[in-house]
Chain A
């Protein structure tokens, strides 16, 4: 079993006087095919953790390895390439381009990977199908419900078949029914093979997932442990 993501004593602090420690020597690993919830109250450091895992932010100390590549050894361009290829993001606010159709929004997930335009659209159509929005491909985000928008965002994260999908409070802007449906979708996508890390402050959401990592004050306090995916 290969680790998609490994964190080794990762710390992140801001400022100098006095420094704010957002992460304190966090170590954990995510295996391929896992569905992990990182749960904690606000201020517990989970957003910083997501940014560090997503290589949007470099750790102050410790090592982050994605697909076995040590992030510290990469320059900005290489990091960007790593994000384009290996990491998919889902944000609480969706961040969809309002002037583009759902299909083009999803295709933009491949914009920085070097895939040609037509191929991007073809893959985007398949990704929309996977999240059950094939019939909404030509809709603008403004014509879609919140749940649909978030599914478009998930399709955008999945379209490049990344090693890991990071979802930051994906249900935060959804009503409970849409939130439930979205969680079911994540579970389903995971059962199809996607590695997904979800960050949330809601314990009920975390409870739906196979593995829960609980954070407080920049440290992991409990980890339900590495889960071995079913062998098929």
Chain B
């Protein structure tokens, strides 16, 4: 007897496979929807966490870029004996002579004076506000603007006039500038000249009350002496804008330039670098949420596997019939495996859509650029695919192993 060579099982076309694999989903929609929901929730959580963190990071980085990454600061460090170092009076001028430096501003911390709304406030209630003497170009250099009023000018710099940082204004309870408005500084009234907007690159300015160097010298005893003659006080923080392409070289010589005698007592930093690092470090907090998403995915996978096993039990007669109609074991296996994968993929797709939608909604309320990393959506779909395959494998193998006669036996 010759085994007829034409006895090879016909392959199911992709369309037929899709039709066959979706039988269970089409006939038991609610059940399919509920079991896909578990996967959808997990994928949505993962996509939203990745999308939101990327979007917020992009928002912060865009803000940093807008403010410029070329701002460097020099602050006074500590001396060998642990005391606060004093930067030389000439430090800002010396730094300004470095060729790639575009602009320099400086502030001097007037540490013996505090700011109060009125003289009736107990002196202990300082609101953690600093009083600083400032050069007149500070807002330009730290890239902030005035929310209200005007900044100090050569005339007001020598008068009892103060400009409030954004946070300082809030803490003093001042939200606008009107003529004659004043605060109690040291032992006298200072008039309010203006209120700054938040300075992202120089947050210390936000909590400061700014006065001119001459005013600080005249009214707040902030002075130093040069060869016996009193002059204005020393700078404690110097803000330097350098050409963006030459920030590194400038940074490397800044300490020596600011304080040639003791370069190690001048602390140089790049605020944008710190902010960028912080933006990137934020994603570390995502681990927890990603973990929760992964747990939801595992639970979803168990749900899919459970549904598939029940489905195989319930559909024994269908399996038997298909075998009688000429389905091979492999075709039964692929049918149930595909069904699990389709189920998981539908869940994954819904999850990605939900995650993307929530990212878009949240990011646009925050005004961030919407960033959905490829890792998020491709990973979500890929995870769903893998889960479907894993969860469906065992039920599919069981379905294929079922002997046709046993499957056809009605219970």
Complex Cα spacing A68 to B27, Å: 41
A113: interface (CB < 8 Å): yes
A141, chain B: closest CB distance, angstroms: 13
Does residue B394 face the partner (Cβ distance < 8 Å to A)? no
Any chain A CB within 8 A of the CB of B90? no
Query: Does A70 contact B1, Cβ atoms closer than 8 Å?
Result: yes
Determine if A65 and B405 form an interchain contact, defined as CB atoms under 8 angstroms apart: no
- Asked whether A203 is an interface residue with its Cβ less than 8 Å from the other chain, the reply is no
Question: Mask for A65-85, Cβ within 8 A of B = 1, else 0?
Answer: 101111001101110111111
Whether A89 and B324, one on each chain, are in contact in the complex, defined by CB atoms closer than 8 angstroms, is yes
Q: Tell me which residues from 353 to 411 in chain B have a Cβ below 8 Å from any Cβ of chain A.
A: 403-405, 408, 410
Q: Is B3 close to A, CB under 8 A?
A: yes
Q: Which of A54, A65, A97, A115 contacts B324 (CB 8 A)?
A: A54
Could you say which of B4, B317, B326 contacts A113, with CB atoms under 8 Å apart?
B326
A123: min CB distance to chain B, Å: 14
Is A57 engaged at the interface, CB distance under 8 Å to the other chain?
Answer: yes
Pairs A–B under 8 Å by Cβ, sample size 25: A56-B324, A56-B408, A57-B405, A65-B1, A67-B4, A68-B1, A69-B1, A70-B1, A73-B1, A73-B3, A74-B3, A77-B328, A77-B330, A81-B9, A83-B323, A93-B317, A93-B410, A95-B408, A98-B27, A111-B16, A112-B10, A112-B322, A115-B10, A116-B13, A156-B325
Chain B residues lying within 8 Å of A56, measured Cβ to Cβ, are 323-324, 403-405, 408
A69–B4 contact, CB under 8 A?
yes
Query: Is B325 within 8 A of A111, CB to CB?
Result: yes
What's the nearest-Cβ distance from chain B to residue A8, in Å? 11
Does A34 belong to the interface (CB within 8 Å)?
A: no
Check: A230 CB closer than 8 A to any chain B CB.
no
Within the assembled complex, what's the spacing in Å between the Cα atoms of A84 and B13?
16
Q: Count the A residues whose beta carbon is within 8 Å of the partner chain — how many? A: 38
CA distance A91 to B403 in the complex (A): 17
Q: Which 5 A-B pairs have the closest CB atoms?
A: A84-B326, A114-B10, A112-B326, A80-B328, A56-B404
Q: Does any Cβ of B come within 8 Å of A148's Cβ?
A: no
**CB distance A117 to B326 under 8 Å?**
no
As a 0/1 sequence over residues 1 to 33 of chain B, the CB contacts with chain A under 8 angstroms (1 = contact) are 111100111111101100010010011000000
Residues 86-101 (chain A) with a chain B CB within 8 angstroms: 87, 89, 91, 93, 95, 97-99
Chain B 281-320 residues near chain A, CB threshold 8 A:
317-318, 320
- Closest chain A CB from B376 CB (angstroms): 36
Q: Give chain B's interface residues, CB within 8 Å of chain A.
A: 1-4, 7-13, 15-16, 20, 23, 26-27, 317-318, 320-331, 403-405, 408, 410
Give the chain A neighbours of B325 by CB distance below 8 A. 83-84, 89, 108-109, 111-112, 156
Select the residue from B23, B26, B321, B327 with max chain A CB neighbours within 10 A: B321
Residues of A within 8 A of B (CB): 51, 54, 56-57, 65, 67-70, 73-74, 76-78, 80-85, 87, 89, 91, 93, 95, 97-99, 108-109, 111-117, 156
Q: Given A81-B7, A82-B7, A93-B317, 7 other A-B contacts at CB below 8 A?
A: A56-B408, A77-B8, A108-B325, A111-B20, A112-B9, A112-B326, A117-B13
CB-based contact B9/A99 at 8 Å: no
The answer on a CB contact under 8 Å between A80 and B9 is yes
Q: Choose from A84, A87, A99 the contact partner of B26 (Cβ within 8 Å).
A: A99
A109 to B327 CA separation, bound complex (whole angstroms)? 11
Distance between Cα atoms of A115 and B12 in the complex (Å): 9
**Which residue of A81, A87, A89, A108 is within 8 Å of B8 (Cβ)?**
A81
**Which residues of chain B are near A114, meaning CB under 8 Å?**
10-11
CA distance A95 to B324 in the complex (A): 11
Please give, as numbers and ranges, the residues of chain A lying within 8 Å of B330 by CB-CB distance. Answer: 77
A91 to B2, CA, bound (A): 31
Considering only CB atoms, which chain A residue lies closest to B28 in the complex? Answer: A99
What are the residues of chain B within 8 A of A85 when measuring CB–CB?
A: 7, 326
Given contact pairs A56-B405, A73-B1, A80-B328, A97 touches B7 in the complex (Cβ within 8 A): no
Q: Which of A57, A76, A84, A112 has the most chain B CB within a 10 Å cutoff?
A: A112
Tell me, in angstroms, the Cα distance from A81 to B323 when the chains sit together.
Answer: 10
Interface contact B329-A112, CB-CB below 8 Å: no
